[in-house]
Amino acid sequence: MSFVSRVHHLRNSLWIEWRIALRFLADEPTGNLDTQTADEVFTLFERFNVEHQCAIIIVTHDPRLSARCPRTIRLTDGKVVYDGASNRSDSR
């Protein structure tokens, strides 16, 4: 493998690792917003997720917003009581 090939391989490997490591955590990002503004903020999260192909972890008590996520993990008393697909029929 030539030096140039090794550099390209390393660059591509690092890019993949960086993309895997990229995450975004939002703790109650819409908690103090009216429903219209909360929807707009959530739409930005959805767009960021698609455009950057990264995971976004959102903590919310709003079932409307959690229904818009592909996956929901529900906690009760610090224990996971549900981990699966969101109920997307309630999303909007």
In this structure, what are the phi and psi dihedrals at residue 87, rounded to the nearest 5 degrees? -85, 85
Query: How many Å apart are CA 78 and CA 75, to the nearest integer?
Result: 6
Is the backbone of residue 53 left (phi > 0), alpha (psi -120 to 50) or beta?
Answer: left
Full set of structural domains in the chain with CATH: 23-90 (3.40.50.300)
3-57 pLDDT, tens digit each? 556 655 656 665 555 555 556 777 788 888 888 988 998 998 899 888 877 788 8
| pTM exceeds cut of 0.75 | no
Query: How many Å apart are CA 80 and CA 3, to the nearest integer?
Result: 49
- From residue 20, how far is each of 7, 43, 76, 81 by CA, in Å? 20, 22, 29, 27
